[in-house]
Amino acid sequence: MKADLGLRLLHLADRLGLNKVCNVLKKGRITVLMYHGVIPDNCSIDAWTLVKESEFLRQIEYISREYEAIPADQLVARSSVRSPKSRKEKVIITFDDGYRNNYLIAYPILKKFNVPALIFLPTHFIGRKELLWFDKVIYAIQSSGCNAIDLRKVGIGFIKLNGDDPASRWDKIEALLTKMKSLELQEREVVIQEITQVLKPDYSCADMFSFLEWSEIKEMVNSGLLSFGSHGHRHQILTQLPYEEVFEEIFTSAKILKKDIGVEPIFFSYPNGELNPQIVKVLKRAGFRYAFTTKEGSWEQDLDNYSIPRINIGGYDSMALFRAYLSGLSELL
């Protein structure tokens, strides 16, 4: 009820033009957007982390008109970020996980509006025709369109998916993923196997959810519009690893990025947004200069380069909410 009221107030504030007022109040703070996948409108795989192509096009068109999307590399040359070249508020667009759909669907739209973006790669998976463990679960459930899954055999219970309402269906899937995150690797594998065995997913559009090829990454680097950073090597939650493995994850990904793209990797995005001071120390040693979290909010430059908040853009967000995220209006309601 409270959330409904918040949304209604937000739509009213949007119609009254309060986004413009909020932009002034931001006083130069940078908004960093976090995307994951962008999928064709007719794709049956539906998830909070996936934005439909037509929605993404509207969002990028809006940004190109109302904001100044800056390349992340401009952060390094601070004076150019600060210079009043444009009176528009600045936005940085980022993508986590390195999905092929970033190249197939998002890249043509970014090119069309000449909007730069930064993609974070889990380097081990690049060029592989496989899915991240949580995508296997999402893909199996959503492609099957099932209303319930019986996972009592593997100790997870009977999960009802709330019919056709996509957002509440997603809440149930997210709760399942959260439960699975806390499992040991092997236990988790058993649950994934059970899900795929029960649901027998059709993998015909799985290519959208596998990973970018190095040749596609190089093409995007050469366009001058896209930059790349690390999202770890095997997409491991770093806070759950012993020190040596944190070191291995960060340094291996840095080495691969340097070798395969030929640029110093200076941007990092924490898998699952989780960090601690020890991880930050390793990032600094490996040469990373900016690290992005999943903590919500806009970024006051110089506050902390290793804990940069982002705004998560989800597949169920309305255009009014998107405008409010960008202006900071959503933080006030």
Q: Residues interacting with Zn ion, by CB under 5 A?
A: 96-97, 271
Q: DSSP code of 202?
A: -
**Contact criterion met (CB below 8 Å) for 10 and 316:** no
Q: How far is the C-alpha of 278 from the C-alpha of 317, rounded, in Å?
A: 35
Between CA 158 and CA 323, with CA 314 as vertex, the angle to 5 degrees is 150
**Which spans in the chain are helix H?**
2-15, 18-25, 53-66, 78-82, 100-101, 107-112, 133-144, 166-181, 185-199, 214-223, 243-261, 277-285, 319-327, 329-332
Q: How far is the C-alpha of 164 from the C-alpha of 66, rounded, in Å?
A: 35
Phi, psi (degrees; rounded to nearest 5) at 161: -105, 15
Question: Helix, strand, or coil here: 257?
Answer: helix
Q: How far is the C-alpha of 115 from the C-alpha of 223, rounded, in Å?
A: 11
Q: How far is the C-alpha of 70 from the C-alpha of 72, rounded, in Å?
A: 6
Q: Residue 331 CB, nearest distance to Zn ion (Å)?
A: 24
Q: Residue 4 CB, nearest distance to Zn ion (Å)?
A: 30
Q: Residue 237 CB, nearest distance to Zn ion (Å)?
A: 10
Q: Residue 36 CB, nearest distance to Zn ion (Å)?
A: 7
Instruction: Report CA-CA distances (Å) from 189 to 126, 137, 259.
Output: 21, 11, 32
Q: DSSP code of 43?
A: -
Task: Give the residue with the Cβ less far from Zn ion, 37 or 328.
Answer: 37
Task: Give the residue with the Cβ less far from Zn ion, 132 or 286.
Answer: 132
Q: Residue 67 CB, nearest distance to Zn ion (Å)?
A: 25
Q: Residue 242 CB, nearest distance to Zn ion (Å)?
A: 21
Task: Give the residue with the Cβ less far from Zn ion, 23 or 230.
Answer: 230
Q: How far is the C-alpha of 128 from the C-alpha of 97, rounded, in Å?
A: 13
Q: Residue 11 CB, nearest distance to Zn ion (Å)?
A: 31
Task: Give the residue with the Cβ less far from Zn ion, 46 or 96.
Answer: 96
Q: How far is the C-alpha of 315 from the C-alpha of 89, rounded, in Å?
A: 24
Between CA 131 and CA 262, with CA 35 as vertex, the angle to 5 degrees is 75
Say which amino acid occupies 140: A
Q: Residue 96 CB, nearest distance to Zn ion (Å)?
A: 4
| Nearest residue to Zn ion on Cβ basis | 96
Q: How far is the C-alpha of 114 from the C-alpha of 214, rounded, in Å?
A: 22
Q: Residue 120 CB, nearest distance to Zn ion (Å)?
A: 7
Say which amino acid occupies 122: P
